[in-house]
Structures are given as C-alpha cells and as structure tokens.
C-alpha cells in the first residue's frame, strides 16, 4: 500500500497546507466580519444558497466523478464534459436570472433581486474552470488547486471587510464572491496546461453520462436536503434566525469541513486507481475513516462542551444565540464524514444505481424528519439533521459491508471508540464552561485539558490510527523532535 499511502500523504499535505494557511486568517476574518455584518444581513445572503447549489450539481451532471473514475479517459471525453458543463450552466444561469424577481417576492426581501442575478452570472465563471479542477484531481496534482484557492480566498477577504466597514452590508459579501471568482478564472485559465477544443463526442457523452447522471441525481438529492433547512428557516422564521443558524453551522463545520473536504478530494481519485484490488482498497478505506474520525470527533466534542465561550470570543455577544446550534450540530458533524467516505467507496466500485436508490430512500427519511421538525423550532430542525446523519451512516455502512464483509458493527467499532473517548475527554472542558471565568480562560483551560486527555490517552495505548497520523507528521517535520512510534496494523 506504499503508493496509495504516498499519494494520500501528498494530497492531504497540500490540502491541509492550504487549510492551515487559511484557517487563522479566516478565523480573524470571521471575528471582524461578525462585528460589521448583522445576523439578518448574513441570513439574506444565505437565502441564495439552495438554488445555486442545485444548479451547480445539475451543470456538472456527475461528469467529474465519471471522468476521474475512467482511467482510460481521452481528449474527446474531457472536451465533451467541458462543453456540456458550460452549456448547462448557461441555461441555468439565464433561468435563475429571469426567476430572480419571483425569488425576491417569495422571501419578501427586495435585496435578493440583484443578489440572485449577480450570482447567476458568476455561476458561468465557476463552470468554466470545473473541468480544469477535475483534471488536476485525475492527475492527483493536489498542490496547484491548494495554492490557487489559498491566493483567491486571501485576496477576497480585505475586499469584503473594507466594503462592510463602509456600510455595504449584504453587498460586501457578494462582491467578495465576485472578486474571488474572477481571480480564480483568470489564474486557472492562465496556468492550466489543458485548453478546450471544439470537440463533442456523442460516444463520450453517452459513456460518461450513463454513470455520471446517476451520481448527479444522487448529488442533487443530497444538495436539496442540505439546503432545505436554509429554505425552511428563511421562509417560515426570519433572516435573523437564518443568520444565527448559518453562523452556528459554519463555526461547527469550520475545522471538520477542512478535513472532510481534503479527504473527499484525495480519497476518490486515489482509491479509483485500485478499484479492482480489494486487498489494497479496503485497508485504505478503513484508514481514511479511522484517521479522520480521530481528529474530527475531538474537535466536535470540544464545540459541544465549549460552544458558548467559543461563540462569544469569535463572534461577540450579539451572536450568542447561535451557540445552541453549534452544540446540537456538533453531535452530527462528529460522524458525518463517514458517509462521504462510504459513498466514495461505492462510486469507486461503480455502484451508481445503488447510490441513486440509496439516496432516494435516505432522503425520504430525511424529509419526513425535517417536515416534522420545521413545525416546532429551529433547534428541532438541527436535531432532525443529527438523527438523519446517523440513519444515513447505517444505510451506507450496510451496503459497503455487503460488498466487503465489513459488517455495520465492524465499521462502528472502527470509528465510535474515538467519539466516545473524545466525549469523555471533554468533560473537564464542559465543567470549565460552567464557571464564571471569562471566555478566553474557559477556552484555554478547557481546551488544554481536553487535548491532553484525548491525545495523551491515544498515545499511551499506541492506537493504530493515532500511530499512522503521528508518524506521518513526524516524517513531514523531518524526524527531528518527535520520537518514532511502533507502527501497528490497522485492524
């Protein structure tokens, strides 16, 4: 598994380097922005999310996933994907542009008229670089996207802060998105070795679409579910509620999304190279689950135990209402990353039909939970998402188990011990959050105790995933300061 390990480490290294570079800046940026933008303004911008998330999923039609999986891809395949994606994006952009007045009337927010129209135009820019990003994944070049995304993200932050300080409100956030999209478009088209040609192959389209369309339908169902909460809260509650909910979810996902995003970008193209070799594929799959849970579970339990002081420090007292969302959502986020890794495995195995029907069943369950919760409160909507997360994992791990012999219980034993140990380790942190200390002291003492208990315990027992992660970090630090731990086989 040395080549898989090498490619995984390379991908994770560049993905994490991008995130590590951005995380401190984004944290400071978020702290300042929360004091310049109100929850209501944040909620208004969030209302555009559902339509554009669905539109982007439709535009790609699963072609990116199909192209990565196809190891004998041709120039005709790549160009066909590009022109289809661009054509679909054009149709959807025009449609959303024309529907903008209805959108603004539906939510009774006049600002949404031109927010929607500008976003529709920006969707065309994003679609024109989608194939370029896919090709970097196909080549397992994770370095270039990491550098480009870091540059464009950092460049957009001062634009937003200056405009927000000048009182531009929701448009400060929109113009940041416009600036970053334009900059990404220019950089990618300048540096990418691939340029489109006037080629469209009917054979390539049928081949890619037969697999990709099912993935696209599954993805659209998932995107609809993810954004349905935004739709319901924005329509039946208020933009302020939506702003608090959005910030709470964003804070909880801040670090876990970094890890899951990197793993999603790395795991699928890497595992695709050994799609027919179960002896290499299954251990790699289990390694991704264990190592990611080891980190994410601890982060989420820290948010569960210290959500209130974290919100007070980062966003200020005006945003304390989102602390309850942080704590509830953390219970689902702690294990939510399991499902994307499960689905990556099924995609690698070419089970597009199974994925499609699996999404229909899961989303039927999720919609039932969401409808019931929507009549109660925003907090109930969050609890419904937590319940659904665990239901989805049950479905996904069952079908992976049918293909690999890894039963639901065996997979639970791969990741649940980390969640349980993380919760136990954060009990002192929770006690600190109940004191009268200021938020900085609560986070410092509570966070330190949780870190020492959790990672100290894993270090003491030489947990297999911990050893894998530890030795990876040791190697990247040049073997200078950290003693080597004995490697253990991932069981």
The domains of the chain are located at 35-236, 241-481
Place of tokens 């002081």: 309
| Coil, strand or helix at 16 | helix
Element housing 152 (H / E): helix 143-165
Query: What pLDDT sits at residue 22?
Result: 65
Query: What pLDDT sits at residue 289?
Result: 84
Going from the first residue of the chain to its last (491 residues), give the mean pLDDT of each consecutive group of 10, the final group possibly shorter: 50 54 70 77 72 60 65 80 83 85 82 84 79 76 77 85 86 85 88 86 78 66 72 80 84 75 57 60 77 89 92 84 90 87 74 76 85 88 90 86 79 88 93 88 92 90 77 61 55 44
**Report field, pTM of the whole predicted structure over 0.75:** no
Residue 392: alpha-carbon gap to chain centroid: 16
How many alpha carbons lie under 13 Å from residue 129 in its C-beta half-sphere? Answer: 20
Query: What pLDDT sits at residue 463?
Result: 82
Q: How far apart are CA 47 and CA 157, in angstroms?
A: 21
Query: What pLDDT sits at residue 302?
Result: 92
Q: How far apart are CA 465 and CA 462, in angstroms?
A: 9
Q: How far apart are CA 315 and CA 34, in angstroms?
A: 5
CA distances (Å), origin 423, targets 259, 260, 371, 454:
19, 20, 30, 9
Residues 194-219: b if buried by 16+ CB within 10 A, e if exposed:
eeeeeeeeeebbebbbebbbbbbbbb
Q: Which of 335, 303, 340, 339 shows the shortest CA–CA distance to 322?
A: 303
Query: What pLDDT sits at residue 1?
Result: 45
* Cβ-contact 327, 351 below 8 angstroms: no
State both tokens at 403: 């293909």
Q: Which of 271, 277, 243 shows the shortest CA–CA distance to 378?
A: 243
């Amino acid at each position: 598994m040395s080549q898989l390990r090498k490619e995984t480490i390379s991908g994770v290294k560049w993905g994490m380097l991008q995130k590590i570079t951005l995380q401190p800046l984004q944290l400071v940026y978020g702290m300042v922005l929360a004091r310049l933008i109100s929850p209501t303004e944040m909620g208004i911008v969030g209302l555009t999310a559902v339509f554009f998330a669905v539109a982007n999923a439709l535009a790609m039609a699963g072609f990116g996933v199909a192209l990565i999986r196809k190891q004998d891809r041709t120039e005709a395949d790549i160009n066909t994907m590009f022109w289809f994606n661009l054509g679909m994006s054009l149709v959807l952009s025009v449609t959303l542009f024309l529907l903008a007045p209805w959108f603004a009337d539906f939510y009774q927010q006049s600002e949404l008229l031109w927010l929607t129209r500008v976003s529709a135009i920006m969707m065309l820019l994003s679609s024109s670089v989608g194939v370029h990003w896919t090709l970097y994944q196909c080549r397992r070049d994770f370095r270039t996207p990491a550098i480009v995304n870091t540059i464009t993200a950092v460049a957009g932050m001062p634009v937003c802060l200056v405009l927000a300080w000048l009182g531009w409100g929701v448009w400060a956030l929109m113009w940041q998105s416009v600036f970053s999209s334009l900059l990404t478009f220019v950089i990618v088209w300048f540096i990418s070795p691939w340029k489109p040609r006037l080629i469209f192959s009917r054979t390539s389209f049928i081949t890619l679409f037969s697999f990709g369309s099912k993935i696209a339908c599954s993805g659209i169902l998932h995107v609809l579910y993810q954004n349905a909460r935004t739709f319901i809260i924005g329509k039946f509650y208020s933009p302020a509620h939506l702003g608090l909910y959005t910030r709470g979810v964003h804070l909880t996902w801040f670090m876990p999304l970094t890890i899951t995003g990197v793993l999603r970008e790395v795991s699928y193209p890497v595992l695709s190279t050994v799609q027919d070799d179960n002896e290499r594929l299954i251990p790699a799959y289990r390694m991704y689950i264990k190592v990611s849970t080891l980190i994410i579970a601890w982060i989420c339990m820290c948010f569960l135990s210290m959500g209130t002081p974290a919100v007070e420090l980062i966003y200020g007292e005006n945003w304390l209402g989102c602390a309850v969302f942080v704590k509830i959502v953390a219970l689902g986020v702690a294990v939510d990353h399991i499902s994307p890794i499960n689905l990556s495995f099924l995609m690698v195995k070419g089970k597009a039909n199974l994925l499609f029907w699996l999404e229909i069943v899961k989303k039927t369950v999720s919609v039932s939970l969401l409808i019931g919760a929507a009549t109660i409160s925003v907090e109930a909507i969050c609890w419904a998402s937590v319940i659904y997360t665990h239901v989805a994992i049950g479905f996904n791990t069952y079908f992976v188990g049918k293909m690999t012999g890894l039963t639901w219980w065996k997979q639970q034993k791969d990741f649940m011990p980390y969640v349980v140990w993380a919760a136990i380790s954060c009990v002192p942190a929770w006690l600190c959050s109940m004191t009268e200390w200021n938020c900085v002291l609560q986070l410092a003492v509570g966070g330190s105790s949780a870190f020492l208990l959790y990672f100290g315990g894993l270090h003491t027992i030489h947990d297999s995933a911990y050893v894998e992660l530890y030795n990876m970090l040791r190697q990247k630090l040049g073997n200078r300061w950290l003693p080597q731990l004995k490697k253990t086989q991932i069981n």
